[in-house]
Amino acid sequence: MPFEVDETLISYMRQVPRDGGVDIVTSLARLRIIREYEALFEGSGLRPGVVLSSSLAATALLDDTRAALMARVSGTSLTTVIVRDGILGGFRCTELPVPAASLTPQMLLEEIFPVAAYYQDTWQEGIQSVRVAGLGQRLADFIRPMQDEFHCDVSSLLYTAVSEGRVPPDAKPLADRELEGLVGWALHRG
């Protein structure tokens, strides 16, 4: 773990196993950071129920009936997630070598590749859709190289979810501001 055990909050949930047995998804967080988030809400008279990673919340925007890879860039952080049929098949959060504005398609592919390779080796199938968030107007530069690598549809996470009608009307203002984590949370709360 990246910090001391007594400073750690561990959360877990059981998910449907792919090949029998038991699959557990586990998350670690620094306790004081979670308490800071909770204190913000408590200071406003609210009672927090769940503190959820914005990238995990954003997975609600994926059409996961097939293997869907989400690459979400925020500053110098990249979260790569693969889901299929509601099962988390891969998750990785890394620091990029450069800020998003300087990121090249090859750099992004190099960061995504370990999760994609793990998924393909473990599940014996390829990625069937790629959804990208956090690149803004630069997304167009990344689509073709990613299509060439994964041989599937590559598009904006939010644009695709909105165009497929998976974003409720009350969450569209959040989508317009590219707040995919909050849009995903809005889908989970209902």
CB-count exposure of residue 112 (10 Å: 0-12, 13-18, 19+): buried
More confident residue, 28 or 151: 151
CATH of domain 53-189: 3.30.420.40
Break the chain into its structural domains and give their ranges: 1-51, 53-189
Signed CA dihedral, 112, 116, 119, 121: sign only: negative
Q: Is 113 within 8 Å of 120 (Cβ atoms)?
A: no
Long-range contacts of range 148-155, CB-CB < 8 Å, 24 or more positions apart? 149/109, 150/69, 150/116, 150/126, 151/126, 152/126, 152/127, 152/128, 153/129, 154/129, 154/130, 155/130, 155/131
Q: Mean pLDDT for the chain?
A: 90
Comparing CA positions, the residue from 137, 148, 154, 68 lying closest to residue 106 is 148
Q: How far, in Å, CA of 154 to CA of 135, rounded?
A: 13
pLDDT band at 12 (very low <50, low <70, confident <90, very high): confident
Q: What is the mean pLDDT of residues 147-171?
A: 92
pTM of the model: 0.87
Q: How far, in Å, CA of 156 to CA of 160, rounded?
A: 6
Question: 180 pLDDT exceeds 50?
Answer: yes
**How does pLDDT run across 122-150, given as a tens digit for each residue?**
999 999 999 999 999 999 999 999 999 99
More confident residue, 145 or 6: 145
**How does pLDDT run across 51-108, given as a tens digit for each residue?**
788 898 899 999 888 999 999 999 899 999 999 988 899 999 999 999 999 999 999 9
